């Protein structure tokens, strides 16, 4: 499902940043290191262009894809034998209900104060895509971060490599301009590589444990309360590392870096560790 998007300063900044990194990498770093008309220059330009196009495409999909709306007629079925657990409020033990939206909340759904509605399997609201990261666009957001990390590291390597080449002609003609471009690029790429790598590592951790950012913070409190009561807390949606990966990225390994989400389901019900336990007990 697509959504309408108005002007957003952070999105504009990201688009300009991608454009700057692309053109500086192609027409400065690659050109000065290899020469754009040489075989290594053409090869690196084509590879970097392909990565940049994937960044632009996945970013656009993350921006324009609705993260997942709760159907207006949604109601939890407490008698559903195939759904062994129902999420309840921390206080009172009632089924989850959103007072702002005036409707029941499915498992893993949360209300976004920015979007002013409940979002299915909400991870967080991201200002850089002017959208929530939720059930329908989580994978494409993750794939975008993967390609963005690859592009930034690739560009940084090309920047460093091009500095090892001494080009007297360039130095005489436009040395000051190149030096300015190199300084700006380095000051921009180094922190960006670090920030995006940390973000990628964080979401790899979340995917391996089948958690959202919200569920991680809720789980920290739940673990503390469980230990205080002498119990052991376990995340109910953790199915094991490989199963967790396939739940988010898809059953086919070859499609993990492709922005396809046909496997995600409705977002109203998710497999839990209790499903496997129930199946094991009924088979005995």
| Residues catalogued as catalytic | 126
Q: What number of residues does the chain have?
A: 284
Q: Give the Å distances, CA to CA, from 80 to 77, 199, 237, 265.
A: 5, 38, 18, 18
CA-based nearest residue to 236, from 210, 254, 212, 257:
210
CA distance 253 to 51: 19
Cross-strand pairs, 157: none
Contact 81, 20 (CB under 8 A): no
Helices (H), 209-272: 213-228, 241-249
In sequence order, the 6+-apart residues with CB closer than 8 A to the CB of 207 are 142, 244, 245, 248, 249
User: What sign for the dihedral angle of Cα 220, 221, 222, 226?
Assistant: positive
Contact 110, 133 (CB under 8 A): no
């Amino acid at each position: 499902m697509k959504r309408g998007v108005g002007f957003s300063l952070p999105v504009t900044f990201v688009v300009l940043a991608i454009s700057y990194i692309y053109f500086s990498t192609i027409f400065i770093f690659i050109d000065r290191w290899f020469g754009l008309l040489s075989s290594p220059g053409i090869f690196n330009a084509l590879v970097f262009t392909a990565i940049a196009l994937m960044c632009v495409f996945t970013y656009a999909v993350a921006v324009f894809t609705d993260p997942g709306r709760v159907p207006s007629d949604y109601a939890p079925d407490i008698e559903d034998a195939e759904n062994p657990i129902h999420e309840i409020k921390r206080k009172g033990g009632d089924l989850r209900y959103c007072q702002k939206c005036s409707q029941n909340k499915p498992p893993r759904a949360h209300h976004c104060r920015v979007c002013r509605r409940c979002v299915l399997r909400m991870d967080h609201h991201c200002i850089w895509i002017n959208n929530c990261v939720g059930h329908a666009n989580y994978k494409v957001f993750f794939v975008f971060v993967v390609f963005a990390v690859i592009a930034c590291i690739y560009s940084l390597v090309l920047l460093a490599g091009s500095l090892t080449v001494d080009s007297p002609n360039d130095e005489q003609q436009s040395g000051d301009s190149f030096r300015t471009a190199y300084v700006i690029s380095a000051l921009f790429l180094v922190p960006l590589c670090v920030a995006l790598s940390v973000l990628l590592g964080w979401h790899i951790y979340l995917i391996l444990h089948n958690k959202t950012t919200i569920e991680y913070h809720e789980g920290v409190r739940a673990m503390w309360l469980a230990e205080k009561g002498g119990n052991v807390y376990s995340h109910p949606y953790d199915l094991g590392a490989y199963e967790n990966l396939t739940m988010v990225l898809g059953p086919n390994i070859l499609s993990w870096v492709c922005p396809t989400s046909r496997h995600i389901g409705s977002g109203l019900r998710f497999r839990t560790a209790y499903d496997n336990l129930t199946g094991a007990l009924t088979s005995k």
